[in-house]
Amino acid sequence: MNMMDGKNTSASHSEVGGVFVPLSTPVTSAHARALAQDARAPSGANIKLPIPPRRPVSTWYNCTRRHSQRPARRVCYFLTLLLLSLAANVYSLPKHTYNHIYSSLNHIEPQKLHDTLQFLNSMVAWVGGLAARAGAVFLMSSRPDTQHANLTTYTINSMAAIDALQSTWYNVQSGIWDRKWWNSANVFTTLADFASIDVVAANALNIGGIMRNTFEQAQKEAITSLKLIDDTGLVTSSYTISMVGMEDAATEVATKLIARQFPGFINEFYDDEGWWALAIIRAFDVTRDQGYLDMAANIFDDMKTGGNTNCNGGIYWNKERKYVNAISNELYLSVAASLANRMPNRQAYLDIAAAQWVWFKASGMINERGTINDGLDGSCRNNGQNTWSYNQGVILGGLVELSKATGDANLLSDAAIIAKAAIKELSDDKGILHDTCELNCGADGEQFKGIFVRNLHYLHKAAPDAAYRKFILNNADSNWAQNRDEANKMGVNWAGPIQRVSGGTHSSALDTLIGAMAVV
Spell out the domain ranges in the chain.
59-141, 152-519
Task: Decide if 470 contacts 484 (C-beta within 8 A).
Answer: no
Cα 354 from Cα 221, distance rounded (Å): 34
Cα 282 from Cα 210, distance rounded (Å): 14
Model pTM score = 0.76
Cα 427 from Cα 106, distance rounded (Å): 72
Cα 114 from Cα 180, distance rounded (Å): 80
More confident site: 440 or 33: 440
Task: Decide if 170 contacts 206 (C-beta within 8 A).
Answer: no
Peptide bond into 56 cis (omega under 30): no
| DSSP summary character for residue 483 | S
> How much is the pLDDT for 68?
42
Q: What integer is the mean pLDDT of 368-392?
A: 97
User: Which of 427, 501, 512 shows the shortest CA–CA distance to 477?
Assistant: 512
Cα 509 from Cα 502, distance rounded (Å): 11
> How much is the pLDDT for 158?
98
Cα 51 from Cα 198, distance rounded (Å): 9
> How much is the pLDDT for 233?
72
Task: Decide if 192 contacts 285 (C-beta within 8 A).
Answer: yes
> How much is the pLDDT for 286?
98
| Predicted confidence (pLDDT) at residue 43 exceeds the cutoff of 60 | no
3-state secondary structure of 31: helix
> How much is the pLDDT for 12?
32
The CA angle 268-273-277, to the nearest 5 degrees, is 165
Task: Decide if 261 contacts 315 (C-beta within 8 A).
Answer: no
Cα 399 from Cα 409, distance rounded (Å): 10
Indicate the range of 215-224, 258-267, 286-295, 433-442 predicted with least confidence: 258-267
Q: What percent of the chain has pLDDT over 70?
A: 67
> How much is the pLDDT for 472?
99
**Residue pLDDT, tens place only, 184-242:** 999 999 999 999 999 999 999 999 999 999 999 998 865 566 677 777 777 777 666 55
| Predicted confidence (pLDDT) at residue 23 exceeds the cutoff of 60 | no
User: Which of 115, 43, 275, 90 shows the shortest CA–CA distance to 181?
Assistant: 275
CA max distance for the chain: 97
Buried b (16+ CB within 10 A) or exposed e, 290-313: ebbbebbbbbbebbeebeebebeb
Task: Decide if 5 contacts 170 (C-beta within 8 A).
Answer: no
Q: Residue 391: left if φ>0, alpha if ψ -120 to 50, beta else—which one?
A: alpha
| Predicted confidence (pLDDT) at residue 96 exceeds the cutoff of 80 | no
The CA angle 133-136-142, to the nearest 5 degrees, is 135
Indicate the range of 22-26, 342-346, 409-413, 427-431 predicted with least confidence: 22-26
Residue 222 bridge partners (DSSP): 242
Cα 318 from Cα 309, distance rounded (Å): 11
More confident site: 138 or 413: 413
Residue 26 bridge partners (DSSP): none
φ/ψ of 70, rounded to 5, equals: -65, -35
Burial class (CB in 10 A: 0-12, 13-18, 19+), 345: exposed
**Residue pLDDT, tens place only, 397-415:** 999 999 999 999 999 999 9
Helix axes 448-462, 466-482, angle to 10 degrees: 140
| Predicted confidence (pLDDT) at residue 17 exceeds the cutoff of 50 | no
Burial class (CB in 10 A: 0-12, 13-18, 19+), 355: middle
In angstroms, what CA-CA distances link 465 with 308, 406, 477, 519?
38, 21, 19, 10
Task: Decide if 350 contacts 406 (C-beta within 8 A).
Answer: yes
> How much is the pLDDT for 277?
98
Task: Decide if 339 contacts 332 (C-beta within 8 A).
Answer: no
Mean pLDDT across the chain:
81
> How much is the pLDDT for 435?
97
Task: Decide if 404 contacts 462 (C-beta within 8 A).
Answer: yes
Helix axes 389-406, 448-462, angle to 10 degrees: 30
Q: What integer is the mean pLDDT of 83-112?
A: 55
Burial class (CB in 10 A: 0-12, 13-18, 19+), 88: buried
φ/ψ of 119, rounded to 5, equals: -65, -45
> How much is the pLDDT for 211?
98
User: Which of 473, 334, 472, 316 shows the shortest CA–CA distance to 411?
Assistant: 334
What is the DSSP annotation of 229-261?
A: E-TTS-EEEEEEEEE--GGGGGGS-TTS-----
**Residue pLDDT, tens place only, 333-363:** 999 999 999 999 999 999 999 999 999 999 9
Domain 152-519 maps to which CATH number in 1.50.10.20, 3.40.50.620, 1.10.540.10, 3.40.462.40?
A: 1.50.10.20
Q: Which helix (H) or strand (E) holds 176?
A: strand 176-177
Q: What integer is the mean pLDDT of 368-372?
A: 98
Indicate the range of 32-36, 83-87, 394-398, 452-456 predicted with least confidence: 32-36
Q: What integer is the mean pLDDT of 48-59?
A: 69
> How much is the pLDDT for 293?
96
Cα 395 from Cα 340, distance rounded (Å): 16
User: Which of 27, 187, 154 shows the shortest CA–CA distance to 475?
Assistant: 154
Q: What integer is the mean pLDDT of 271-279?
A: 98
